Amino acid sequence: MKPVLHIVGGGPAGLAAARTALAAGARICLIDDNHAPGGQIWRGGPERWTDPRARAAWDTLRGHPDCTVMQDAQVIGCRDASTLLVETGGRGVAVPFERLLLCSGSRELALPFPGWTLPGVTGAGGLQALVKGGMPVCGRRVVVAGTGPLLLATASTALRAGAQVVAIVEHQPWPRLSAFGLGLLARHGRKFLQAASLFAELRGIPYVTGARLVEAKGDDALRAVVVRAGGKDIEYACDFLAAGFGLVPNTDLARALRCDIADGAIQVDGGQRTSRAGIWAAGECTGIGGVDKALAEGRIAALDALGLSPSGRDLPLRRAAHAFAALLARTFGPDASLRAMCAPETIVCRCEDVTAARLLPHRDWREAKLATRVGMGPCQGKTCGAACAFLFGWSHEDARTPIMPATARALSDFE
């Protein structure tokens, strides 16, 4: 009987793992919460993909007799150590597994600043996802601000959709960005060419370095953004602000399954095995590194889960991807100076309207939750938890079922 590999997440890591497992003669069940495959990096479905690796993976999966794909299926927790609880079609389904691969990706790190709750202010990846999903931005004014390569990708997406990109505001100073470019040129030539291509596409757009967000201004919606560069404040009139400060691994399901977490990511060994027998992890949930890291780890994890060894090509690809991830972290990891964006009256927990001033007197996440309800709204701390970890150094490692909002009907199906 063919072994079965259950995969949570249909991004690059999940698709690469599924394709590898099918080629090795296994059956797979791919569980994804989106209506189309691809995750955030390949968002939009096959008809919008430009990366041939995405299409090659999906062509293998689509219609394969040993492949089951559950789309629009949200994993909301686990019943026990070998059963997932999934909501799909408004109903709850228990999915038992023997081999489970977590490819749960990442989410944006949202750092609070005055005005960040105004309509029109999104994350950098958030705006990219909205545009790819069909939100019209043609003729609208967009400012992209924060830190990291995602700013350039978001500006490119907005520009191609007809938006007027007013400015790209990068927190890191030019010398550090230059060192990053030299690091790409020395060890990651293809990524250097990708970066150069993006810069060429965005030429003519003001690129402000060594700057930080001061305030988003508006009454009922965003009207302007104020940034500080070179000791001076600059105001840009705009309709959208895409504020990106990097990504954080999505470890909620791994925590619920009692997998070890280290430095905010799922801890894995050389075979992508977690601390729990029968559970592997790959992609951004094991550390932020981009599509190449996700593809390499997804292949290695699938092979290891089936008792097979990686090819001679997989391990060098993963080493190169990890080196790129380390370069990203050294260059664009949010530094302490970004805490200055958050004023005492700034809302940190937008679900419960909890300001920074109300959080300051508390010693840790649990104490603050009890006193202020921070992290107890609909997002269950998925946004403000990471922000509080950055602002105050608090750990927020609690994970309870349901890990995502679920309907009462779906929950009743598990009784």
Q: Are residues 102 and 122 in the same domain?
A: no
Residue 408 lies inside a defined structural domain of this protein: no
Residue (of 23, 7, 11) closest to 272 by Cα position: 7
Q: Are residues 188 and 228 in the same domain?
A: yes
List, in sequence order, every beta strand (DSSP E) within 26-146: 27-31, 67-70, 73-80, 83-88, 91-96, 99-102, 106-108, 121-123, 141-146
Interatomic CA distance for residues 130 and 362, integer angstroms:
36
Residue 412 lies inside a defined structural domain of this protein: no
Q: Are residues 234 and 254 in the same domain?
A: no
Q: Are residues 11 and 98 in the same domain?
A: yes
Residue 254 lies inside a defined structural domain of this protein: yes
Which pLDDT belongs to residue 398? 64
Query: C-alpha angle with apex 150: 55 to 239, nearest 5 degrees?
Result: 110
Q: Are 42 and 51 in contact (CB under 8 A)?
A: yes
Interatomic CA distance for residues 255 and 44, integer angstroms:
29
Interatomic CA distance for residues 149 and 138, integer angstroms:
23
Interatomic CA distance for residues 200 and 3, integer angstroms:
48
Q: How distant is the alpha carbon of residue 20 from its chain centre?
A: 23
Instruction: CATH number of the domain at 116, please.
Output: 3.50.50.60
Which pLDDT belongs to residue 47? 77
Q: Are 67 and 22 in contact (CB under 8 A)?
A: yes
Which pLDDT belongs to residue 411? 86
Structurally, the chain folds into a number of domains equal to 3
Which pLDDT belongs to residue 415? 66
Residue 403 lies inside a defined structural domain of this protein: no
Residue (of 137, 138, 202, 196) closest to 169 by Cα position: 202
Q: Are residues 209 and 122 in the same domain?
A: yes
Over residues 259-277, the mean pLDDT reads 96
Is the pLDDT reported for residue 401 higher than 80? Answer: no
Residue 71 lies inside a defined structural domain of this protein: yes
Q: Are residues 240 and 252 in the same domain?
A: no
Domain boundary among 244, 279, 300: 244
Is the pLDDT reported for residue 176 higher than 70? Answer: yes
Residue 212 lies inside a defined structural domain of this protein: yes
Q: Are residues 274 and 239 in the same domain?
A: no
How would residue 202 be classed by pLDDT, with cut points 50, 70 and 90? Answer: very high
How would residue 312 be classed by pLDDT, with cut points 50, 70 and 90? Answer: confident
**More reliable by pLDDT, 45 or 257:** 257
Is the pLDDT reported for residue 399 higher than 80? Answer: no
- Distant-in-sequence, close-in-space partners of 80: CB < 8 Å, separation ≥ 6: none
Residue 401 lies inside a defined structural domain of this protein: no
Over residues 333-345, the mean pLDDT reads 93
How would residue 50 be classed by pLDDT, with cut points 50, 70 and 90? Answer: confident
How would residue 210 be classed by pLDDT, with cut points 50, 70 and 90? Answer: very high
pLDDT digits (tens, 9 = 90+) for 365-391: 999 999 999 998 888 888 999 999 999
Residue range(s) defining the domain that contains residue 156: 112-244
Is the pLDDT reported for residue 10 higher than 90? Answer: yes
Interatomic CA distance for residues 158 and 101, integer angstroms:
34
Q: Are residues 257 and 321 in the same domain?
A: yes
Which pLDDT belongs to residue 284? 97
Is the pLDDT reported for residue 29 higher than 70? Answer: yes
Q: Are residues 308 and 325 in the same domain?
A: yes
Q: Are residues 286 and 381 in the same domain?
A: no
Domain boundary among 244, 272, 304: 244
pLDDT digits (tens, 9 = 90+) for 13-24: 999 999 999 999
Residue 99 lies inside a defined structural domain of this protein: yes
Q: Are residues 259 and 316 in the same domain?
A: yes
Q: Are residues 199 and 263 in the same domain?
A: no
Domain boundary among 244, 269, 301: 244
Q: Are 109 and 248 in contact (CB under 8 A)?
A: yes
How would residue 36 be classed by pLDDT, with cut points 50, 70 and 90? Answer: confident
Q: Are 225 and 216 in contact (CB under 8 A)?
A: yes
